[in-house]
Amino acid sequence: MPTNWRARLPSPSVYYARELADLAPPSITGWARATCPFHNDRNQSLLVQVTGDRGSWRCDGSCGGGDLVGFHQRRTGLPFKAAVRDLVRRPA
């Protein structure tokens, strides 16, 4: 895997806007709320950081958390390297 793969990932704001239809506008700290796709969510329990380059996420409903790659892995079921390849091939 190339050493610059992280720099080629989509920006968290673009990625999460595409993946989460009900993404709310971000707070002043760069975190935005959405309905968690990993469990039956009636409230917006998912927080994603749309600023910065890691794209951190966490679920208040005990689904876990991680970074953008980990979110994509969980959404798609892809292993790490395949998830990175899939992400860097996506249009910006």
| 92 pLDDT tier (thresholds 50, 70, 90) | low
What residue type is 39 in one-letter code? H
Predicted pLDDT of residue 41: 84
pTM for this predicted structure: 0.90
In percent, the amount of the chain with pLDDT more than 70 equals: 96
Neighbours of 92 (CB within 10 A): 7
Q: What is the CATH number of domain 5-86?
A: 3.90.580.10
Summarize the confidence of residues 16-23 as an average pLDDT: 95
Measure Cα distances from 70 to 25, 30, 56, 89 in Å. 22, 19, 9, 17
